[in-house]
Chain A
Amino acid sequence: MRKSINLTPFFYLLPALVVIFGLRVYPLIYAIDLSFRGFRLGSPATMYDFVGLKNYMAAFDDWRLMLALKNTIFYTIVAVAVNLVVGLTIALALNRDFRGRGILTTLFYIPVTLSPVVAGYIWKFMYMTPFGIVTYILKSIGLFGFLGIETIHWLSDYPVVLFSIVIVEIWQMTPYVVLILLAALQSMPQDPFDAAKIDGASRWQVFRYITLPLLRPAIAIVLLLRIVGVLRIFEQIMALTAGGPGVLTHSLSTYIYRIGFGQLEVSKATAYGFLTLLIDLPFILTFTRLVFKSTR
């Protein structure tokens, strides 16, 4: 007997497919094509110049891109490590019963609700030499005198400025890590903890052998989300230093933006963007796998 194909489900899928193709697939194909051309925004005729791999090869000869890559790796490693350690510590503290816990948790979350640009500007004023509160406090407690220095220019002394940027990212996003880990801690089954108590396990043993293994999926998610997040760090840098002093604090995102919209090298910026994607991709794929695994 011949089976007839029911086209109705495809018909229902059509609007979604059109949207996905229009907003995702077509722009992606267009961008891939663009990355092999020599298109410069001020010269429309260059849209048709096929330059092969030239834009991709230029990346390896561009010391500013390499510096931006190094900076991005630095921002990512420091921010994610501190996010996780501090976030976990605070989450564990907030997981205990004490008065005012709800208010404290809410207060902790405030930085996440700010726009990164706003956070950047708040910190810029706090860092500003010589009137910023950061310098004022450190001077007041005698730290500069102890170190034998007059002051620190938080936004222009290189490499101090790299830490100044990463501190803003840590300040803003640690509460986000706290929230995810706290939710995971609060949804843990009570039985293993009761059993450990009966068996006389120490606090450290409970943390090491029960809490931490049970937290592992949440930690993995947090790690991946934060890595992908920090790899794209943009707004804070633009607000704090605009990539300066000179070009020394650019991340990949801010530098690529500069190439595309400052120097108008659209094709080159697109090629650099695809190269950056290669760095993001392993993390994105792992994250997707983890999410699908937990959904199943």
Chain B
Amino acid sequence: MPELGPVTVSIAAGRPDSGVIAVNIPEFEAQTGIEVRLEEGPWESVQEKISMDLMAGVGRYDVIWLPTSWAVNWEEYLVDLKPRYDKLPEAYKEDYFPRTIELNTFDGKLLGLPFKFWALGLFYRKDVIEGLGLSLPKTMDDYAEVLKAVTMDVDGDGKIDQWGTAVTTSGFLCLDHYLQYCNAFFDPKSGQPHAWSDVEGKPTLDADWNIEALQWLVDRFVVDKSLPPQSLELVGYDNLMLFLSRQLGFYPGYGCDYIQMADPAVSQVVDYWDVAPTPVGPHGVQLGHSGGQGLGIPTTSKHQDGAWLLIKYVCGVEGVKNEMRYCTLECPRKSAYEIPEAHPKVSKVMLTAMLGDPETGTPAQMPSEVKTKAFAKVGDFLTLAVYEAFSQKKTAEKALKDAQEASLKELEKT
């Protein structure tokens, strides 16, 4: 019998994702006798560690946390789990939303067993919206209007202290946030696979819908002033912090953000938030993108059988129910939503965004995240374009055209 452990798991971020694995470890260890070592940290640091490990072929990690948008970059270092997955009992497989399996599949290879998925919901301050008698925005035009309406001086000192919403404009989250808006303006009839690249995978940063999206954001910042004045300073999850400290009316966020909103230790909106579907753009596409995370096995792992047992357990029915009990995430399994701890509204909004509404038969209106290696290369040009447009150094169109030209040059060099 091959040696099964100890199994070392590397996972980005602290709560809630690492916690989900942590809650499952004691029972897994008791059942199998395999020791599990959990390493956790912020995404950049975990990504760096995993990258170094894969590159050097050390094999420190047996299981890695795999965001579906990033997995394509590690594709060649990961075990194809499909042969193992195919041998699983039908009940185990049927309990998955098929979409989550698709998200973890690249070039026909199953790189990770679905661990969670994400989609964007529009979190909002219900006290503010109800207090002002506003309706929830259905379109991007409505959204612009309500953002303007909630921007106000709440404490009466003559200074604005509450804004419509915020976007991160620096660091890697800048791309994530800007891309969410680009999707809202994307025209699916264009024949392009998504907002960012053409059918050959080349970036199309200066596509009409991207220019429209950036212009929409700049108008909110410059004309309506419904984005906070420090918008260009926001890095990481600063905008979530602004929502939690009651400075924003709306926050387009993921299901796991609910954990912080409901935590009185960090949130001033514990009793004042609610969630709704994100607004829809001019071509019927919803603001945001959906994606997911899987748990994968690097080819360098020395305990692949033990790693598979762990993944199977954590992503299995009981493991995922534990996940729901622990933090009510968007879970990839149907049965997980049966437990009483599931947050019905957050779950419904996220599930509908990603899978469509089974009651009305409406298909999903939120696109998936981009899976392209070129994306990593164009990031700098995009953050620069966002800065140039927000600071009015260039028009949105000029900034994106320059970014497109620079990106193509960079890609040619590579």
Name A's B-contacting residues (CB within 8 A). Answer: 39-45, 58, 61, 64, 127-130, 151, 153-156, 158, 240-248, 258, 261-266
Contacts and interface: CB of A to CB of B under 8 A. Distances in A.
A247 B76 contact: no
Interface string B357-400: 00000000000000001001101100111111011000000000
B77 interface: yes
A262 B379 contact: yes
A246 B384 contact: yes
25 contacts: A41-B51, A41-B74, A42-B74, A42-B75, A43-B76, A44-B76, A45-B76, A127-B233, A130-B159, A155-B233, A156-B231, A242-B170, A244-B171, A244-B387, A245-B170, A246-B380, A246-B383, A246-B385, A246-B386, A246-B388, A248-B384, A262-B172, A263-B376, A263-B377, A264-B51
A130 to B, nearest CB: 6
Contact of A244 (B48, B73, B169): B169
Given A42-B76, A130-B229, 16 more contacts: A41-B73, A128-B233, A153-B230, A153-B233, A155-B230, A241-B170, A242-B235, A244-B169, A244-B174, A244-B383, A245-B232, A246-B170, A246-B380, A247-B380, A261-B47, A263-B379
Nearest to A261: B48
Interface in B167-223: 169-172, 174
Contact of B233 (A43, A156, A266): A156
Contacts of A247: 380, 383-384
A130 B383 CA distance: 23
Contacts of A61: 413
Contact of B235 (A41, A244, A246, A248): A244
B43 to A, nearest CB: 11
Nearest to B77: A44
Contacts of A242: 170-172, 235-236
A244 B391 CA distance: 12
Interface residues on B, range: 35 or more
A153 B233 CA distance: 8
B233 to A, nearest CB: 4
Contacts of B171: 242-244
Contacts of B385: 246
Nearest to A268: B414
Given A41-B54, A128-B233, A263-B377, A246 B387 contact: yes
B384 to A, nearest CB: 3
B391 A245 contact: yes
B233 A129 contact: yes
B72 interface: yes
A265 B411 CA distance: 12
B154 interface: no
Contacts of B339: none
Contact of A156 (B54, B230, B373): B230
Pairs A-B, 7 closest by C-beta atoms? A244-B170, A156-B232, A242-B171, A246-B384, A246-B387, A155-B233, A245-B387
A264 B376 contact: yes
Given A242-B171, A244-B383, A42 B72 contact: yes
Given A42-B72, A42-B373, A248-B387, A151 B170 contact: no
Contacts of A155: 230, 232-233
A41 B48 CA distance: 11
A247 B378 CA distance: 12
B44 interface: yes
Contacts of A45: 76
Q: Which of B379, B380, B383, B390 has the most CB of A within 10 A?
A: B380
A43 B48 CA distance: 16
Contacts of A264: 51, 73, 376
A58 B410 CA distance: 10
